[in-house]
């Protein structure tokens, strides 16, 4: 093999390695938690209001438990149905977008606290540490919806 082919092959391998590293980093950012369990069921009829087709449709009810390590962040998103969150252990913060389309205060949520996420409310959740947090979360979303249980959005603020 001549030097030109070796050089081209080396560049291709470096580009491939770099692309794999970038993809692994992005995948780690998008899924910022470790799932303990997920259980799903179907409700025959649920009205998603402005987040659905305008009439009741079947919905997927999902209950999840997951662990967030210190520094983990769930990016800005919203849900099409009502969501309930219980912080079973540790602490997290939640920040919501206000009606004026500005970032609201960062709200701490400690052990045994709970909060409700109304449909369409853009928010982000983070674990500021020092320890891991265990979260129980329940929601409903349109059955078969390609967005699934959350719609991720561009961060409106930092």
User: Looking at residue 30, what is its pLDDT?
Assistant: 42
User: Looking at residue 158, what is its pLDDT?
Assistant: 61
> pTM here?
0.76
In this structure, how many other beta carbons lie within 10 angstroms of the beta carbon of residue 156?
Answer: 14
Q: pLDDT tens digits for the chain (158 residues)?
A: 555 554 444 443 333 333 333 333 333 344 457 999 999 999 999 999 999 899 999 999 999 999 999 999 999 999 999 999 999 999 999 999 988 888 999 999 999 999 999 999 999 999 999 999 999 999 999 999 988 899 999 877 76
Please give the Cα distance from 123 to 98 (Å, whole number): 9
Q: Are 62 and 138 in contact (CB under 8 A)?
A: yes
User: Looking at residue 36, what is its pLDDT?
Assistant: 92
11 vs 7, 15, 16, 21, 51, CA distance in Å?
6, 6, 9, 15, 47
Nearby residues of 126 by Cβ (< 8 Å), 6 or more positions away: 68, 72, 73, 74, 92, 93, 95
In this structure, how many other beta carbons lie within 10 angstroms of the beta carbon of residue 46?
Answer: 21
Give the up-direction half-sphere exposure of residue 18: CA atoms within 13 A in the CB hemisphere: 6
Instruction: Assign 3 to helix, strand or coil.
Output: helix
């Amino acid at each position: 093999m001549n030097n030109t082919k070796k050089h081209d092959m080396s560049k291709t391998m470096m580009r491939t390695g770099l692309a794999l590293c970038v993809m692994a980093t992005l995948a780690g950012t998008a899924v910022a938690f470790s799932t303990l369990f997920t259980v799903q069921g179907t409700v025959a009829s649920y009205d998603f209001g402005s987040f659905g087709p305008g009439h009741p449709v079947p919905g997927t009810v999902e209950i999840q438990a997951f662990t967030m390590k210190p520094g983990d962040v769930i990016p800005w998103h919203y849900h099409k149905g009502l969501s309930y969150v219980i912080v079973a252990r540790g602490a997290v913060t939640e920040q919501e977008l206000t009606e004026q389309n500005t970032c609201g205060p960062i709200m701490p949520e400690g052990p045994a606290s709970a909060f409700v996420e109304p449909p369409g409310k853009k928010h982000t959740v983070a674990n500021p540490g020092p320890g891991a947090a265990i979260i129980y979360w329940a929601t409903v979303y349109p059955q078969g919806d390609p967005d699934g249980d959350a719609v991720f959005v561009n961060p409106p603020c930092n």
